[in-house]
Structure 1
Amino acid sequence: MKILYVQHDMLVWASARQWSYTTHMAYVEGLRAAGHEVLVLFTSCWAWSRKLVGDHRFDQVWINDVTHVLGQRPAWEAPPPLTEVDFAWLATLAPVRVGIVMETLHYDPADYAEVPELGRRLPLMQRAVLPYVTHFGVVDENDVRHIENMGAQAMWTPCHVPRRFFRRSAPNTARPAVFIGSAYQRRAKYLHHERLKNGLLEFRASGEHATELPAMFDQLNNPVRQAMLEQPCRQADMERFVDTLQQVRAKLFDLFLDGLSDSLATVNLTSFVKTYAGRVVESMAIGQPVVSWRIPSHPQTARMFREDEHILFFENDDPDSLADTLERLKREPGLAERIGERCLANAKNHHTSEHRVAQILEWTRTGIAPRFWD
C-alpha cells in the first residue's frame, strides 16, 4: 500500500523527549517492514506538505498525534498547530485515515484540577479531527468506547518497540530500581520517601544528557530545517532531513534504554495517562523487570501481563507498598531474573512495532480488534 504518514514533532529536545521513539517513528518502521511505501511529513515542515504530496493519492493516511498536533505552544518549542483545514485536505488524499492518540482523552476530576490544559484536548479534537479521521488508535482502552460513541471507529493500541532495539540486559539486584521521567506533583512523595531513598529507588537521568545528541536534535530542527525550508521544495531534501532526524532519535532512544539497565527493575509510577507508560514495554524489550502501579478500571490492560510472571505491582499509589514490592524483588532468589526473561519473551511475541502495525492494518481492513496476550 501507499501510506502518507504525518508526524507531529517538537523543535527542541527538552520538549520532544517527552515522546519516546516508540510513539514517534516506530510506526514508520513497522509500516516499511511490511513492505508498504511510506511518505513521511513532519508538521515542523508543513509549509512543504502540499508540494510534496502534489497529485499523489494514498491507500491510507496516518496522523500521529491528533491531539498534541492541535496544541498552542510557543514558536521556539513547536510548529504551528494543524487546523481543521489541514485535516480536511488530508481527508481528500485517502479513503482510510488513521489518527493516533498518544494520551488519555477522558480524565478524572482531580486530573483536570491539577492540569486544566487536559480539558482542552477533547473539544479541539472533536471539532478539527473527528469529521475527517475514519479510524483512531488510542492508548487508553476506555477511549475506544468514547470515540465509538462519537461515531468513529477506534482500536486500543498499547505501546510497542521496534525489533531492532530488543536485547537482553540482566537485572542487577545489588542496585536500586530506577525511574526515568518527570517527578511532577503526584510523584514527589516517592522521590522523598525514606524507605525508597535508602537504596531501593533511584530517580535517574537519561544518559543522553552526557552526549551531543540533544544539541544535534536542536540544530537539525532549527538552523538546518529553517535553511531547508527557505529553498525550493525538493523531496530528496525532505527525505534526507527525515532520515537524519530519525537516526538521531533512534540513538537517543538507545541511550534511554541503556539508562534502564544495570538496575533492579524499572518503576512505573502513577501518571495522568490511564495506561502503561511507554517505559513498561520499553523495559521489557531489554529484559528488565517492571514494578508498576495497578491501573484501576482497565480490565484489558490488566490482562496484558501476568502478575509475578511478566510484571509486579504496588498498590493504592502508596510508597510503602512500592518499597515492599522492591524489597521482595531483592530478597527472593532468581525472581528478578525470571521475570526479566519472561517479560522479554512476551514482548517479542506481542509488543513489537512490526506486530502492532500489522494488527492496526488488519483492523482497518476487517474491523476485528486484536488481543495482546496469549
Structure 2
Amino acid sequence: MAKDILLIMLEFDNWEQARSWSYTGSYAFIDGFRENGHRCTLLPAIHGRAPDAADSFIGHAETLLAGRTFDEAWIWCNHAAFDERFWTWLKQVAPVRVGVVLESLNHSDEELEALPFLAKRRDDAFTCLPHCTHAIAADEADVAEIQQVFGIPTLWNVFMVPESFIREDAPPASDIAAFIGAAYFTGPAYNYPKAHTLLRNRFLSDPRLEGLMNRPHFQLPERSSETLVRFEALHGEMRQSLLAGEIDAATLAGFADELHRLRADLFALFLEGLRLGMACVNLPTLVKAFSGRVIEAMAAAVPSISWLPPDRPECARLFADGADVLLFDSVENLAGKITTLRAQPDFRNQLVRQARTGLRQRHTSRIRCRQYGCWIDTGETPIFEANVTP
C-alpha cells in the first residue's frame, strides 16, 4: 500500500560542505521510496540554522505543511537542530518516526582526544532519538545501544544507490588509484593539533603510497559545473524568500523538486570524477562502516578498494573480498592491492562486473527502501550480505 512519507533531511546551503554529504545517504531514500510507489515530501533541515530562525524550514514546517498528515517521517539526526515545538507538531502528524543516524555514536580515546567535538555528535543523536519510534544506524555497533537506551526497534543502515546511476562502462585506463576525499581537520583553518594522529591522516601522509594513489580533488568535473553554481544560487534565493515570509507549500514543493534534480545532476558528475583513478580508495573513516564511496565507485564502474572497519562482522560480510571489492587493513596491504590491480587489467574488469551485478541484486535504492518498509511494517530484519538475493 502506498504511503505518504515525510523526509526531514539534512542539507547544506553551500557546496563545500554539501559535497561530503553523499547522495547515497540522502536523496537515494526519496528515489527508493518513490520506486516502491510511495509519495514523498522533502522538508530540508539546513545545517547551521536554528530551528526557530526565520530562514529555517523547520521553524515554518507547521505552516508549510498545514492540514497534512503522513504515514511515516524519516528524520536525519546528525548536524541539524530541532526544538520541542517541532517535535510536538511532528508527533501529531506522523505516527511512525524513523531516526536516521549517519555518524558513529562511539569513538576511540584517540579520536576524542584529536577531535573533542565528536562527543557532541552522540549528544545530538541522543537528543533526537527519544522522539522517534524507530531508528537506523550507520554503525552496526550502535544498533544494540540505541535499542537498549531508547527501547525502539533499530536496524543497521546500509547505503544504497539508485539503479539509474549504475554505469555500464569498462574500468578507467589510468595506472594510479585515487582517493576522493579530504584529510580530517588538518591545516591552518583548524585548531586540532592532534588531528594528524587520526588513522586516515596517517594513511595520507605515508610515503609508501606515493606513486600509487593521488587526490585529484581539483580535477573533479563538478567543481566547474554550472549545476554547482545553480545549487548555491537556489539556496540563496530560497533563504531570502524565507526571511521575507514569501514561501508557501507550493514554493516548498518546487524548491524540493529542483534541489533534488540538482543533487542528482551533481551526483552524476561526482561519479564521473571517481573515474579519474584506476581504482577508488576508501580510506579509514570516523564512521565505523563502509562509506557511500564504496558503492559509488561500484556504480561508476571503478574497482573499489576499501578499509575494513575492525570489529564490524556485518560489514565484513557485506561484500565478497576479491570479487566485489578489495579490502585492506594496513598501508602495506593497500599498497599491495593497488599494485596488483595496476598489473592485472583483466582483474579490474572482473571486479567491476561482479560489483555491478551485486549492486543490482542487493544495493539499489528500490531494494533497500523496500527492505526498510517491510521491516517497519512486519519487523522482518533484512539480509544485506553478499551472495544472498533479497
TM-score (norm 1): 0.91
SS of 2:384's equivalent in the other structure is: coil
Partner of 1:193: 206
Q: How many angstroms apart in 2 are the aligned matches of 1:68 and 1:282? A: 23
Is 1:53 aligned to 2:53, yes or no? no
Q: How many angstroms apart in 2 are the aligned matches of 1:333 and 1:5? A: 42
Q: How many angstroms apart in 1 are the aligned matches of 2:275 and 2:6? A: 36
Which residue identity is paired with 2:7?
Y
Trace 1:41-190 onto structure 2 (pairs within 5 A).
41-44=43-46, 45-63=57-75, 65-69=76-80, 81-126=81-126, 128-150=127-149, 151-184=151-184, 185=196, 186=198, 187-190=200-203
- CA-CA distance at 1:239 after TM superposition: 1.1
1:320 to 332, 338, 346: 332
Is 1:213 aligned to 2:215, yes or no? no
- CA-CA distance at 1:232 after TM superposition: 4.1
Residues 122-162 of structure 1: CA deviation (Å, up to 9, x unaligned):
23332x32221011011111111111111111011111111
Is 1:13 aligned to 2:10, yes or no? no
Structure 2 unaligned residues grouped into runs of 5+:
47-56, 185-195
SS of 1:159's equivalent in the other structure is: coil
Trace 1:248-259 onto structure 2 (pairs within 5 A).
248-259=262-273
Which residue identity is paired with 1:164?
S
Which residue identity is paired with 1:140?
D
Which residue identity is paired with 1:247?
R
Residues 41-92 of structure 1: CA deviation (Å, up to 9, x unaligned):
11242343111221222111111x21221xxxxxxxxxxx212332232122
Q: How many angstroms apart in 1 are the aligned matches of 2:332 and 2:86? A: 49
Does the 8 Å CA contact 1:169/1:262 hold for their aligned counterparts? no
Is 1:242 aligned to 2:256, yes or no? yes
Please, which moves more after superposition, 292-301 or 216-225?
Answer: 216-225
- Quickly say closer, same or farther: Cα 1:156–1:215, change in 2 above 3 A: same
Q: How many angstroms apart in 1 are the aligned matches of 2:293 and 2:210? A: 21
Does the 8 Å CA contact 1:171/1:262 hold for their aligned counterparts? no
Partner of 2:236: 222
Q: How many angstroms apart in 1 are the aligned matches of 2:65 and 2:236? A: 23
Please, which moves more after superposition, 8-17 or 295-304?
Answer: 8-17
Q: How many angstroms apart in 2 are the aligned matches of 1:174 and 1:237? A: 45
Does the 8 Å CA contact 2:306/2:328 hold for their aligned counterparts? yes
Q: How many angstroms apart in 2 are the aligned matches of 1:195 and 1:106? A: 30
Is 1:291 aligned to 2:291, yes or no? no
SS of 1:131's equivalent in the other structure is: helix
Is 1:371 aligned to 2:383, yes or no? yes
Residues 84-123 of structure 1: CA deviation (Å, up to 9, x unaligned):
3322321221221111111111112211111111111223
Q: How many angstroms apart in 2 are the aligned matches of 1:53 and 1:358? A: 26
Does the 8 Å CA contact 1:136/1:152 hold for their aligned counterparts? yes
- CA-CA distance at 1:231 after TM superposition: 4.0
Partner of 1:352: 364
Is 1:25 aligned to 2:44, yes or no? no
Q: How many angstroms apart in 2 are the aligned matches of 1:232 and 1:290? A: 46
Residues 179-238 of structure 1: CA deviation (Å, up to 9, x unaligned):
11112233344434334222x111121321122333222211123432255244422211
Partner of 2:50: none
Root mean square deviation, CA, Å: 1.7
Which residue identity is paired with 1:251?
D
Please, which moves more after superposition, 284-293 or 270-279?
Answer: 284-293
Which residue identity is paired with 1:135?
H
SS of 2:214's equivalent in the other structure is: strand
SS of 1:99's equivalent in the other structure is: strand
Q: How many angstroms apart in 2 are the aligned matches of 1:2 and 1:223? A: 28
SS of 2:168's equivalent in the other structure is: coil
Q: How many angstroms apart in 2 are the aligned matches of 1:29 and 1:174? A: 32
Q: How many angstroms apart in 1 are the aligned matches of 2:254 and 2:70? A: 22
Please, which moves more after superposition, 106-115 or 251-260?
Answer: 106-115
Which residue identity is paired with 2:134?
H
Which residue identity is paired with 2:144?
R
Which residue identity is paired with 1:275?
A
Q: How many angstroms apart in 1 are the aligned matches of 2:42 and 2:36? A: 16
Is 1:202 aligned to 2:204, yes or no? no
TM-score (norm 2): 0.87
Q: How many angstroms apart in 1 are the aligned matches of 2:205 and 2:338? A: 16
- CA-CA distance at 1:319 after TM superposition: 2.3
SS of 1:129's equivalent in the other structure is: helix
Q: How many angstroms apart in 2 are the aligned matches of 1:356 and 1:229? A: 37
Q: How many angstroms apart in 2 are the aligned matches of 1:121 and 1:293? A: 23
Q: How many angstroms apart in 2 are the aligned matches of 1:60 and 1:108? A: 34
Which residue identity is paired with 1:49?
A
Q: How many angstroms apart in 2 are the aligned matches of 1:301 and 1:38? A: 30
Please, which moves more after superposition, 170-179 or 105-114?
Answer: 170-179
Q: How many angstroms apart in 1 are the aligned matches of 2:94 and 2:107? A: 32
Q: How many angstroms apart in 1 are the aligned matches of 2:232 and 2:247? A: 22
- Quickly say closer, same or farther: Cα 1:190–1:169, change in 2 above 3 A: farther
- Quickly say closer, same or farther: Cα 1:371–1:119, change in 2 above 3 A: same
Please, which moves more after superposition, 38-47 or 284-293?
Answer: 38-47
Residues 265-308 of structure 1: CA deviation (Å, up to 9, x unaligned):
11010111100011001111222211111211111110011111
SS of 1:288's equivalent in the other structure is: coil
Does the 8 Å CA contact 2:216/2:276 hold for their aligned counterparts? no
Does the 8 Å CA contact 2:160/2:295 hold for their aligned counterparts? yes
Residues 304-339 of structure 1: CA deviation (Å, up to 9, x unaligned):
111111111222xx3222111111112235111101
Give the % identical residues. 34
Q: How many angstroms apart in 1 are the aligned matches of 2:43 and 2:238? A: 16
Partner of 1:78: none
Which residue identity is paired with 2:248?
R
Does the 8 Å CA contact 1:7/1:40 hold for their aligned counterparts? yes
Which residue identity is paired with 2:204?
L
